[in-house]
Amino acid sequence: MVAQHPQTSVARTPANRTSGRPAVPHQTPVRRSWARIPVTVLAFTASIAFAMVNVVDPSSGAVASPYYQAPARFNGDSAQRLVVADAVERTVQRDSFGAEAKPTPTPTPTPTPTETQTASATADEEESGSAEAETAAPVQRAAAPDPGSAKAIAYDMIVQRGWADSEYDCLVLLWNRESGWNVYAENKSSGAYGIPQALPGSKMATAGADWATNASTQITWGLGYISGRYGSPCGAWAHSESVGWY
Q: What is the pLDDT of residues 184-211, one digit of tens each?
A: 999 999 999 999 999 999 999 999 999 9
Which amino acid is it at 189? S
Query: Is 43's pLDDT higher than 50?
Result: yes
Identify the band that residue 8 occupies on the pLDDT scale cut at 50, 70 and 90: very low
Report the pLDDT value the prediction gives residue 136, as an integer from 0 to 100: 44
Tell me if 218 sits within 8 A of 210, measured CB to CB.
no
Give the pLDDT confidence score for residue 70 in this predicted structure: 59
pLDDT digits 0-9 by tens, 162-175: 999 999 999 999 99
Question: How many other β-carbons are positioned within 10 Å of the β-carbon of residue 137?
Answer: 13
- Tell me how far apart the alpha carbons of residues 135 and 116 are, in angstroms, rounded to a whole number: 29
The better pLDDT of the pair 107, 231 is held by 231
3-state secondary structure labels for all residues of the chain: CCCCCCCCCCCCCCCCCCCCCCCCCCCCCCCCCCCCHHHHHHHHHHHHHHHHHHHCCCCHHHHCCCCCCCCCCHHHCCCCCCCCCCCCCCCCCCCCCCCCCCCCCCCCCCCCCCHHHHHHHHHHHHHHHHHHHHHCCCCCCCCCCCCCCHHHHHHHHHHHCCCCHHHHHHHHHHHHHHCCCCCCCECCCCCCECCCCECCHHHHHHCCCCCCCCHHHHHHHHHHHHHHHCCCHHHHHHHHHHHCCC
CB 185 within 8 A of CB 194: yes
Q: pLDDT exceeding 70 applies to what percent of the chain?
A: 61
Q: What is the mean pLDDT of the chain?
A: 76
Q: How confident is the model over 98-117, as pLDDT tens digits?
A: 777 777 777 777 766 555 45
pLDDT of residue 147: 93
Model confidence, pTM:
0.47
- Answer whether residue 64 shows pLDDT above 70: no
**How far apart, in whole angstroms, are the C-alpha atoms of residue 18 and residue 216?**
178
- Which pLDDT does position 130 carry in this prediction? 47
> 232 CB contacts (<8 Å, ≥6 apart)?
163, 167, 170, 226
Exposed e or buried b per residue across 140-152, where buried means at least 16 C-beta atoms within 10 angstroms of its C-beta: eebeebeeeebbe
65 pLDDT above the threshold of 70: no
Give pLDDT tens digits for 115-151: 545 555 555 555 544 444 444 457 788 899 999 999 9
The answer to whether 187 and 197 have CB atoms below 8 angstroms apart is: yes
How far is it, in rounded angstroms, from Cα 4 to Cα 7?
A: 9
pLDDT of residue 132: 45
